[in-house]
Structure 1
């Protein structure tokens, strides 16, 4: 479908300034590519300018990874010339001819059950999913967003046993209820990031957004936050295998209910589960451990060490000396169990390094040796 707006100005006149933008889109997009893609839209009307706007607007960020979003399943095909390059750069050389793989069998894991609670304070496994046939949050209409909520809400209402939960609409929650749920980390606030607003994800807030959680509050779902659905299993200890087992059980049931109602999650053999942000393609899975590493985290090459272990980090809250979150870096090209195992192995290695620092050992040579691998 041609983009009729292209007739008013030339591609050169419309091409964005990207010299100071530090993201994969800005590094991959060229004026010639923009000229070719500008005349196209997806069947639902998503354009290349819609795709890149967040990466254009947020040039001040040190690095926001992708710099582009998909508005629907077809975006990754219509704008493949750009997305293929962004995906290859973001996901360790994953090429357009590569295929994703999946494995959700917890029996294939080694360890992850008795991690040292002196260093590991929490475990979390969460994923994002999209409903086929509906536009993604950067591009969906109000009616589509409400339809997404209806589909997901009906599926979640059928979840039974220990995972049985209740749904709460953000629009209907009082300020007191919201404050309590935010404190319990069961509720998501309206995103304030300009990256999210430039992606058009926060339109019509809080219309058709909601949360669902079970009685133990260790299995919960967010509806129409950044993606159609985000499902989380958590532990207040280091037993990430238990969190993963619960996640596998719950996701299997939710997906079965989605299918029984005539819908399905968007998946293909190349990109795995399709979501708005290219960084979350593949498993769309994040395996996160809350860790106390006061000595190791202050090492000048800590981030490099994490990168070699295929991990990332971030503060779990803003208090001085609080735990840091350590989680997998990307999920495309790796199965679910491979990602969980990567985090288990990486966390065990970080614990061993922290113990060496506690004993007064110098770990610089070990970090340097890992760097050389």
Structure 2
């Protein structure tokens, strides 16, 4: 496996300077089969075979291929998580009937036997929740022609967690919000979101930190509204946050432009000259530099998107690119070297 970049990291989507990605995830389970945490090995293997057959029936148009997780190295599994293609939970202790199916562009991911039998995910760059929903819905419909999903007339799709009952849909948007953080508005905004049923999480979802001023927002429940209503509501919220972030950035430029330019310049200087760098420091500095690029405080655009640069700081990416396992000290050295090479265009 080579590190590479997923298509959602290309930065070409709407509102791409603030919205890094849009994701739709559908939780589905097969009727008459215990949830993954209650399955035995035989049931799990049979379930996986049914899903593989169903995916094969919707080929070749989707271009989806399975990867058995227990056949991948720990670093390869971690890289899939760093790309947001699988959840941290799925790669913790993979067993032979846990799997992931990906398309060639790594825009589609089907996690098999995580908390639910299937978690169908579509990832797109920028603010494209509706487009992601349309793609996920088409794939869901195609799979449902060959799989009997557990469904109740009053409760909707049956899922392992009650919060996913109903549509089984989780819509999420990943945002870069340095302006709101620097102007100390982020906490207030996030409190308001919680009051309207929007959850705010960190870089890798539930239980993760908001590194590099990157936050994920998503709907809290999926019961009681249609899929279109859930997608529309989160799109409206995301647009409002984008507006708040733009205003915060303009406020910083007008009220503290020199200090901001100095901060961006110092971060650029460290990134392009440091010989050792931790992952947390790298993301903090990259956030500053990306903000500076967005506000034209740097000469010319950055050679890579913020999402691509973020991936370059991650442990599995660095080790797979190096072709070997690295000690923490070696990772810090190669991280600094990798960022210097890409930022200065000496690839």
**What range describes the TM-score normalised by the shorter chain of this pair?**
0.5 to 0.7
- 2:66 is aligned to 167
Q: CA deviation at 1:189?
A: 4.7
- 1:360 is aligned to 251
- 1:137 is aligned to 36
- 1:277 is aligned to 161
Whether contact under 8 Å (2:164, 2:222) holds in the other structure is yes
Q: Distance in 2 between matches of 1:257 and 1:231?
A: 15
The CA deviation string for residues 314-344 of structure 1, in whole angstroms up to 9 with x for no partner, is 1115574242111112110111000000111
Counterparts of 1:83-102 in structure 2, within 5 Å, are none
Work out whether 1:209 is the aligned partner of 2:120. Answer: no
Q: CA deviation at 1:192?
A: 8.9
- 2:175 is aligned to 291
Work out whether 1:225 is the aligned partner of 2:114. Answer: yes
- 2:236 is aligned to 345
Q: Distance in 1 between matches of 2:225 and 2:118?
A: 21
Task: Specify the SS of the correspondent of 2:154.
Answer: coil
Q: Distance in 2 between matches of 1:319 and 1:272?
A: 33
- 2:57 is aligned to 158
Q: Distance in 2 between matches of 1:305 and 1:133?
A: 40
From the superposition, tell whether residues 349 and 184 of structure 1 become closer, same or farther in structure 2 (CA, over 3 Å). Answer: closer
Q: CA deviation at 1:356?
A: 2.9
Moved over 6 A (4+): none
Q: CA deviation at 1:186?
A: 2.7
Q: Distance in 1 between matches of 2:67 and 2:249?
A: 46
Q: Distance in 2 between matches of 1:337 and 1:275?
A: 20
Q: Distance in 2 between matches of 1:281 and 1:265?
A: 13
The alignment yields a C-alpha RMSD, in angstroms, of 2.5
Whether contact under 8 Å (1:309, 1:346) holds in the other structure is no
1:185 aligned to which of 73, 78, 84: 84
- 1:303 is aligned to 190
- 2:128 is aligned to 239
Which sections of structure 1, spanning at least 5 residues, go unmatched? 1-112, 194-201, 259-263, 362-373
1:250 aligned to which of 139, 144, 153: 139
Whether contact under 8 Å (2:201, 2:210) holds in the other structure is no
Work out whether 1:326 is the aligned partner of 2:217. Answer: yes
Whether contact under 8 Å (1:310, 1:342) holds in the other structure is no
Q: Structure 2 length as normaliser, TM-score? A: 0.62
Q: CA deviation at 1:167?
A: 1.0
Whether contact under 8 Å (1:296, 1:354) holds in the other structure is yes
Task: Specify the SS of the correspondent of 1:152.
Answer: helix
Q: Distance in 2 between matches of 1:165 and 1:355?
A: 38
Q: Distance in 1 between matches of 2:57 and 2:171?
A: 26
Task: Specify the SS of the correspondent of 1:265.
Answer: coil
1:267 aligned to which of 151, 158, 164: 151
Whether contact under 8 Å (2:25, 2:171) holds in the other structure is yes
Alignment size in residue pairs: 234
Task: Specify the SS of the correspondent of 1:212.
Answer: strand
Q: CA deviation at 1:229?
A: 0.6
Which sections of structure 2, spanning at least 5 residues, go unmatched? 1-11, 253-347
Q: CA deviation at 1:294?
A: 2.3
From the superposition, tell whether residues 218 and 162 of structure 1 become closer, same or farther in structure 2 (CA, over 3 Å). Answer: farther
Whether contact under 8 Å (2:78, 2:91) holds in the other structure is no
From the superposition, tell whether residues 337 and 156 of structure 1 become closer, same or farther in structure 2 (CA, over 3 Å). Answer: same
From the superposition, tell whether residues 136 and 272 of structure 1 become closer, same or farther in structure 2 (CA, over 3 Å). Answer: same
Q: CA deviation at 1:159?
A: 1.9
